[in-house]
């Protein structure tokens, strides 16, 4: 992927923090693509790897800190929370003015489906897959596939294959996919023909 004119102009700005701000909010952060209407709360606490895709309408609450590893793909309507209210207050209901900050960490090569919610304090390790519509309340181990509300482990990816491909840097990015390819799977038809 070649440099765009916008990238070159931003690179000429002498103030590093302002340059980073422009890259993050104008879609030119190194090899990262953010969809439309992505909202980031407390962006100074956000750390991004390379070749990340974040779908439309994502809400990233970064008060407690959020890290997303390289080559991670995140679907539309994603919500991540990094703080929680003090609901055990002895002076106010339903909660008081204090919030607990809890960092969220998403590893590299993760695939987070559409409409996933990640709760404060969760760590999603490298190579994990989170099914669409899941609510992740607990940390997810390496190469686990989780789904549901609350998300539970369904199975694991082949960890040896994952490690082999990762060591060979065989990661999906925006340069090595020229055209999307489709595989047709008709499991419904197969289900109907079974007796």
Hey, what are 40's tokens?
Answer: 């980031």
From the list 47, 85, 138, 164, the catalytic residue is 85
d(CA 126, CA 109): 6
Closest CA to 57 of 81, 75, 77, 32: 77
CA distances from 93 to 86, 107, 185 (A): 10, 36, 52
- Examine the residue annotation and report whether 26 is marked as an active-site residue of this protein: no
Helix then strand then coil, % of the chain, to nearest 5: 20, 25, 55
DSSP 56-108: TT-EEE-TT-EEE-TT-EE-TT-EE--EEE-TT-SSSSS--S-EEE--EEE-T
d(CA 129, CA 53): 14
- What positions carry a catalytic annotation? 85
């Amino acid at each position: 992927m070649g440099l765009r004119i916008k990238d070159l102009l931003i690179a000429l700005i002498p103030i590093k923090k302002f340059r980073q701000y422009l890259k993050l909010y104008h879609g030119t952060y190194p090899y990262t693509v953010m969809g439309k209407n992505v909202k980031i709360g407390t962006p100074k606490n956000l750390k991004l790897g390379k070749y990340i895709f974040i779908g439309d309408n994502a809400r990233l609450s970064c008060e407690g800190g959020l890290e997303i590893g390289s080559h991670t793909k995140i679907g539309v309507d994603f919500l991540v929370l990094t703080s929680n209210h003090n609901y055990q207050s002895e002076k106010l209901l339903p909660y008081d003015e204090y919030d607990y900050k809890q960092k969220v960490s998403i590893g590299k090569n993760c695939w987070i489906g559409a409409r996933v919610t990640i709760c404060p304090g969760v760590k999603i390790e490298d190579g994990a897959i989170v099914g669409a519509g899941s609510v992740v309340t607990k940390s997810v181990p390496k190469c686990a596939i989780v789904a549901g509300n609350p998300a539970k482990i369904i199975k694991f990816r082949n960890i040896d294959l994952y490690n082999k491909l990762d060591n060979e840097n065989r990661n999906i990015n925006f340069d090595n996919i020229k055209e999307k390819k489709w595989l047709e799977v008709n499991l419904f038809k197969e289900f109907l023909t079974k007796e």
